[in-house]
């Protein structure tokens, strides 16, 4: 069951509604930077989804064979500066599917993801959404991630990038594309989409890697994510937020 949020009165006055029509295909966009260890499984699982019309990998300057691997896997490969929002923006601009699905290189889609995502748009006021999320091999401190997806959307109207956000292509065009930000692009994307209609959670669950938590520690990683989120709300620049997020 989808989690519904935001009725029509949350939209901006005067914004023309998105045309109601049947949506049938998804284009997947994956931003990469040295993702050779993760990319193959992600792409193979995505390609097994019948509704997927194409997969575009937008690389930010990898030196580990990511580009060669993506090419061998049959993906369309584009090159861009290393900025997640900018990479997603470029890939989405080139995509042709009815729905654009923004996928992290270490997030695995389930077989029914395409059907579940497209089903959300049977409700004409839905402009985008994401999936419920679990971690692969989590520690006990990381449990409850699936429930937090619902709370985050219900309380703050936000979806996280590792939940595999999907958007109607015409809605994405209407808001000017994916925000060209090096970090927190999904927060800004959700804010802009909520001006057009509702965001929902699809009836499917993705799984994502725990590698960042393994590298930096669970508590330290959650602390850093919280710090970056608060600083973003306070108006700190995206570049400074990225330095905080990426510091060793």
pLDDT tens across the length of the chain (248 residues) = 444 443 333 444 344 556 667 899 999 999 999 999 999 999 999 999 999 999 999 999 999 999 999 999 999 999 999 999 999 999 999 999 999 999 999 999 999 999 999 999 999 999 999 999 999 987 877 788 898 899 999 988 999 999 999 999 999 999 999 999 887 899 999 999 999 999 999 999 999 988 776 776 767 766 777 777 777 677 777 777 777 667 66
Q: What is the pTM of this model?
A: 0.85
The predicted structure's pLDDT at residue 20: 60
Number of neighbours of residue 32 by Cβ within 10 angstroms = 27
For 101-130, letters b (16+ CB in 10 Å) and e give bbbbbbbbbeebbbebbbbbbeeebbbbbb
> By three-state DSSP, how is residue 100 classified?
strand
Strand ranges (DSSP E) for 147-197?
Answer: 165-168
Q: How far apart are CA 70 and CA 57, in angstroms?
A: 7
pLDDT of residue 145: 85
Task: Report residue 122 as tokens.
Answer: 């049977």
At 168-227, the pLDDT tens digits run 999 999 999 999 988 789 999 999 999 999 999 999 999 998 877 677 676 776 677 777
């Amino acid at each position: 069951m989808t989690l519904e949020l935001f009725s029509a009165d949350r939209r901006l006055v005067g914004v023309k509604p998105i045309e109601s029509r049947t949506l049938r295909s998804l284009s997947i966009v994956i931003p990469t930077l040295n993702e050779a260890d993760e990319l193959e499984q992600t792409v193979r699982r995505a390609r097994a989804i019948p509704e997927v019309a194409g997969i575009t990998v937008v690389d930010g300057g990898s030196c580990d064979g990511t580009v060669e691997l993506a090419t061998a896997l049959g993906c369309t490969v584009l090159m861009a500066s290393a900025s997640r929002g900018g990479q997603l923006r470029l890939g989405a601009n080139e995509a042709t599917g009815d729905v654009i699905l923004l996928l992290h290189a270490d997030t695995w889609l389930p077989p029914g993801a395409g059907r579940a995502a497209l089903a959300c748009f049977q409700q004409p006021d839905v402009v985008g959404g994401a999936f419920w999320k679990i971690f692969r091999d989590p520690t006990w401190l990381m449990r409850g991630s699936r429930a937090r997806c619902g709370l985050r959307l219900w309380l703050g109207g936000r979806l996280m990038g590792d939940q595999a956000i999907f958007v109607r292509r015409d809605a994405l065009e209407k808001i000017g594309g994916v925000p060209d930000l090096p970090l927190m692009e999904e927060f800004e994307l959700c804010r802009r989409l909520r001006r057009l209609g509702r965001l929902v959670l699809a009836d499917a669950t993705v799984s994502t890697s725990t590698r960042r938590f393994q590298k930096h520690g669970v508590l330290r990683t959650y602390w850093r994510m919280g710090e970056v989120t608060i600083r973003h709300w306070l108006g700190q620049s995206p570049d400074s937020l990225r330095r905080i997020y990426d510091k060793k």
